[in-house]
Structure 1
Amino acid sequence: MIDLHLIGIGTGNPDHLTMAAIRAMRGADLILLPRKGDAKSDLIDLRRSLCAANVSEATRVVEFDLPTRSPTPPYIEAVHDWHDAIAAAWAEQIAVHLPGGGALALLVWGDPSLYDSTLRIAERLRADGMALRLHVVPGITSVQALTAAHAIPLNSLAAPVVITTGRRLREGGWPEGADTVVVMLDGGCAFGSLPAEGVHIWWGAYLGMAQEALVEGPLGDVAAAIVETRAALRARHGWIMDVYLMRRRDG
């Protein structure tokens, strides 16, 4: 039996790690850390530092190369194939390092429930016959870190919020019935495809990290600055994680 602990670690600030997360890390027999290439070495360096600060030598920390997603469309099919490859990589590491079972921990950016597929990938292992118990430790999400950084409420008074992706925003436009929209996974700055009149945007990158960057203002006034800032930061660091909130009226 494998007890798989999916541990939300927040958005990059070591202070985001909860006591529950630390207990789960310390209770693990094995922690797997994914390598995503030299361009994203900061990401594994942060995970390494979290492990060094919070677990003893009794817990094995093993790094492995994370498979990459094919850029060839269709998108959903490519994602499914990618998840299959990641599940196979996990299974390989488990077979080598936990052949008799035990407690395995994976450190998940933000929270495992929000625009993260770790839970879906874990279900593939179970579907393939692995004896698996899932445990989830919630973490601070990029949405929470964004609203905290800008000191704003997530929603207008008594109003709904839609959380979506850049791809969906570009394809479908502003979600019907929402005055507040949070957009994640937007590598193409989809806010530029929207009518800007009456829209305010709060954008943030590397939230909670030393290189945190924030921009806010009327969409028509700051859209170009966000695009320019985002491109410069990505070129400087080799990767970027960003998220933004837009509101059509003050709330």
Structure 2
Amino acid sequence: MAGDFDLSAPELTRDDLLVLEDPYFGPETVAIVTGAASGIGRATALGLAANDLTVVGADIDAEGLDETEDIAADLDVSGTIHGIETDLTDDGDVAAVVAAAADEGDLRFVANIAGMQHIAGIHEFPMEKYDLLTDIMLRSPFKMAQAAMPHIRETDDGVGAIANMSSVHGHYATKDKPAYITAKHGITGLTRAIAAEGDGSLRGYSVSVGYVLTPLMVDQIADTAAERGISEQEVVEDVMLGQARTKEMMTPAEVANLFTFGFSSHASHLNGADLLFDGGYTHTYE
């Protein structure tokens, strides 16, 4: 809790998840979701499983993956989630999880969601943190696309999509998040490159949102308060929500629904572009 804001995501229910009729949404279709052990990645894995897909969840947190599978069972989703412990900084692990996913059926969808954060200015930013962050958030999505694209092309019609988690920080920069901002701007280029090489049937798109009630976001509050010399309440009110027109944070399920829509046939013209749901951060000013 920071001041009057309840910084905990509401418990996810089946009713929170977007369910669509789609010819590719069935158990024979496989989707990979990275970061599936918590937050947006977990919600996206659950959302795709609620649409009857076979989901392979990749994360270094094996216990978190088990919990995601347990939540899927509790929600009685129609699809299946297979958690695979994966070190996304290891090219061999990334290639292995893609191969395992392809063995489950027609690999058509990849959601690169896994991320991390480190709060510090450029002048004092530890390079080992820079390397780790960009390995997880930029190199790994590149390797995932490299490994997955041949499998998508090998399906009967080559239809599929690779989606990348971006951010308002992929559109503009604020201080004390230089590595994160660098990675998110880079993911825009990767998304466009996937679209350019996808021949129309294999699409690339990204999803950009503002602040979301996830463990990663909550952990940032104290760090940002210390870095800027302000209170945690001021971080939430002024830094996180100050520029927004919608004065509430998104939930992981709301973000997951954007990935579900983006993978669906309803989004066939979403290619090389970004789904920007930011509450007015990016294009409105005081």
**Same fold by TM-score, threshold 0.5 exceeded?**
no
Instruction: Tell me the TM-score normalised to structure 1 length.
Output: 0.38
Q: Which has the higher helix share?
A: 2
Instruction: Tell me the TM-score normalised to structure 2 length.
Output: 0.34
